Amino acid sequence: MTPAILPTTIGRFAPSPTGPLHLGSLVTALGSYLLTRQGGGRWLLRIEDLDTPRVIPGVADDMLRTLETLGFQWDGEVLWQSRRSEAYAAALDRLLQSGVAYPCGCSRAEITRIATAPHPGDEGQVYPGLCREGLAPGKSARSVRVRVADEPICFQDGLMGPVCQDLAATVGDFVVKRADGLFAYHLAVVVDDAASGVNQVIRGSDLLSSTPRQIYLQRLLGYPEPDYFHFPLVTDPDGAKLSKRDNAVSLASSRNLEREGHLLLFDSLRFLGQNPPLFLRDACCVEILSWAVEHFSLAAVPRVQGPFLHHS
């Protein structure tokens, strides 16, 4: 009997070049790299430069150089979202043709003024469906929204356990093409993951609430659903999320990664609940990553956010 061929694990790291690589990004990249490589998988790199007004020139190239200096090796060519507009437009057209997406003429101010929900949802005010049945007379389309179903979206997160979200109650019909003409992050990320064959997504727990929207789009478009793992956020000692500016680990931020890069990797492993032997503090980045791929334990990763501790 021929043994079943298991699918290759394909993971990815997808930073946004709106600021230099920071400690939280490094921890996410490391967790993604280790879990993917431990399964013998392919690790892809995607630059999410879709939100062009916020992109800082030179940051993406600095991210690539920084990752290389820290010993990370990715498979294949880097995918740039800014070059993928045709793919996003094709997916949006499918949603429109099937009737699950519709043009919306509402501004944020109008939604806030008219909406009846007493509290904001995950991304501000829950959309009240003003344009669901068509644009009102005199209104012109500003954005495109996806019509959500009145049922929960549930999935099993590999780290956080079962997650359910009622999109109708917490978000409402959400934007897939913005009023400024840019494609929304949620649409772009599911199109790119499907096109690249990504079946394992590791990212920060601050993105956990956005995952049901992406799963919903995957189901509408007939895409496979990746396995999701939402890792703990790195915070300052007071529990606040770290800013990109103040915790940069990039070459462009004057970090001497040739001298301290291995220490950043060592401390990142400690943050992820791993127990690297002390002799690795004096090892090079490639040696640390090699040890970590072999010994990485998902069960040891903490389920709660916490501070990043530097060990001298």
Kindly tell me if the per-residue pLDDT of 312 is higher than 50: no
Pair (285, 248) in one structural domain: yes
The residue to which tokens 């057209």 are assigned: 93
CA atoms within 13 A on the CB side of 148: 25
The CATH number assigned to the domain holding 131 equals 3.40.50.620
Pair (15, 109) in one structural domain: no
Kindly tell me if the per-residue pLDDT of 95 is higher than 90: yes
User: Taking residues 79-105, what's their average pLDDT?
Assistant: 97
Kindly tell me if the per-residue pLDDT of 56 is higher than 90: yes
Kindly tell me if the per-residue pLDDT of 8 is higher than 60: yes
**What pLDDT shows up at residue 6?**
60
**What pLDDT shows up at residue 117?**
46
Tokens of 159: 């780290």
> How many domains does one find in the chain?
2
The residue to which tokens 């995952």 are assigned: 211
Kindly tell me if the per-residue pLDDT of 121 is higher than 60: no
User: Taking residues 150-175, what's their average pLDDT?
Assistant: 95
User: Among 132, 165, 184, which residue terminates a domain?
Assistant: 184
Residue type, position 214, single letter:
Q
**What pLDDT shows up at residue 108?**
82
Kindly tell me if the per-residue pLDDT of 285 is higher than 80: yes
What is the DSSP secondary structure assignment for residue 1, as one 8-state letter?
A: -
Cα–Cα distance for residue pair 155/226, rounded to 1 Å: 10
Q: pLDDT band at residue 254, thresholds of 50, 70 and 90?
A: confident
User: Taking residues 95-120, what's their average pLDDT?
Assistant: 80
Least confident of 34-38, 142-146, 216-220, 300-304: 300-304
What is the DSSP secondary structure assignment for residue 76, as one 8-state letter?
A: S
In a domain, 287, yes or no: yes
User: Taking residues 38-54, what's their average pLDDT?
Assistant: 96
**What pLDDT shows up at residue 212?**
97
Q: In what order do the strands lie in the sheet with 10-13?
A: 79-80, 42-47, 10-13, 200-204, 227-231
Kindly tell me if the per-residue pLDDT of 5 is higher than 80: no
Kindly tell me if the per-residue pLDDT of 310 is higher than 70: no
Pair (64, 194) in one structural domain: yes
In a domain, 280, yes or no: yes
- In the three-class reduction of DSSP (H, G, I as helix; E, B as strand; rest coil), residue 286 is classed as helix
Pair (73, 180) in one structural domain: no
Domain that holds residue 289: 10-84+190-307
Cα–Cα distance for residue pair 283/278, rounded to 1 Å: 10
* pLDDT tens by residue, 186-226: 999 999 999 999 999 999 999 999 999 999 999 999 999 99
Q: pLDDT band at residue 137, thresholds of 50, 70 and 90?
A: confident
HEC assignment per residue over 126-188: CCCCCCCCCCCCCCCCCEEEECCCCCEEEEEECCCEEEEEEHHHHCCCEEEECCCCCECHHHH
- Look at 17 and 256; give whichever has higher pLDDT: 17
Q: pLDDT band at residue 275, thresholds of 50, 70 and 90?
A: very high
Cβ proximity of 97 and 181 under 8 Å = no
Cα–Cα distance for residue pair 182/5, rounded to 1 Å: 40
Tokens of 288: 């640390």
Pair (139, 199) in one structural domain: no
